[in-house]
Amino acid sequence: MINQYEDQTKCLVALDSIIFGFDGEVVKILLVKRGIEETATTWSLMGGWLRPEEDLENAASRILNELTGLENIYLEQLYAFGAPDRDKISRTVAVVYFALINVKDYDEQVSDSYEARWFALDDLPTLLFDHQEMINKGIEKLRYKAAQHPIGFELLPEKFTIPQLQKLYEAIFNSTFDKRNFSRKFLSTGLLKKLNEKQKGHSKKGAFYYQVDSDKYQSQFNSFLNFTRF
């Protein structure tokens, strides 16, 4: 039995994270220069290697924390990429995760060891290996999840207005929604708590701020299927 293991080709396991962020206007992806890029104009997703003592979830969280300082963020496994020639240096399988953060909250936390930059989805540079394919799948999954569950809140600041929320979802889906229908549909979920505070400087009346009801968000996360079909 042991010989069956010894005779197999050894394979490295990489963990790569697609970090989606929202700056209030557009959805972006955080890319870095890790020192393994093929040219000076090539960029890479956040990533690192699986350690012998780690499971995949712990490794993905550790790598993301080491590179960005981020903790307790939305992180979900997306897909595994294992084409034999995807890494020209060594046989490597990449397990990809996607993370959702607010750009303004974490803009200064990226490790100084790496050159890092936010790129808009419609303005991505040349990417390492099959990272463009990874991002394409990540965008598909983000849109699917946002249509099925209220994960978009992870991309917003702690308090936000309904217009800000609508702008986020329009950026995710690259579409426009009717304002009244959007507001009615989201408020009907019961996930939002209205604050006694208004956004200043955007209109005479000002828009009220809202927060996510964290208890309902956790307990009723799966009960709002298709709630973004406006």
Which residues are 79's β-sheet partners?
96
Provide the Cα torsion 216, 202, 166, 31; round to 10°: -100
Report which residue type is found at 161.
T
Structural domains for the chain: 2-148 (3.90.79.10), 151-223 (1.10.10.10)
The DSSP result for 109-166, as a single string, is: -S-TTSEEEEEETTS--EESTTHHHHHHHHHHHHHHHHHHS-GGGGGS-SSEEHHHHH
Residue-level pLDDT at 165: 92
Residue numbers of the chain with a pLDDT score lower than 70 = 1, 106-113, 201-204, 218-230
* Cβ(222)–Cβ(174) below 8 Å: no
Reported pTM: 0.85
Residue 146: per-residue pLDDT: 85
pLDDT single digits (tens) 190-204: 888 999 998 876 555
* pLDDT at position 80: 97
* Cβ neighbours around 177 below 10 Å, total: 17
Question: Which pLDDT belongs to residue 217?
Answer: 72
Reference 46, options 12, 22, 72, 69; nearest CA is 69
* Helices 162-173 and 179-188, packing angle to 10 deg: 100
Closest CA to 43 of 101, 138, 119, 113: 119
Q: What angle do CA 94, 100, 103 make, to 5 degrees?
A: 120
Q: What angle do CA 136, 95, 106 make, to 5 degrees?
A: 70
Please report the pLDDT score of residue 225 as a whole number: 47
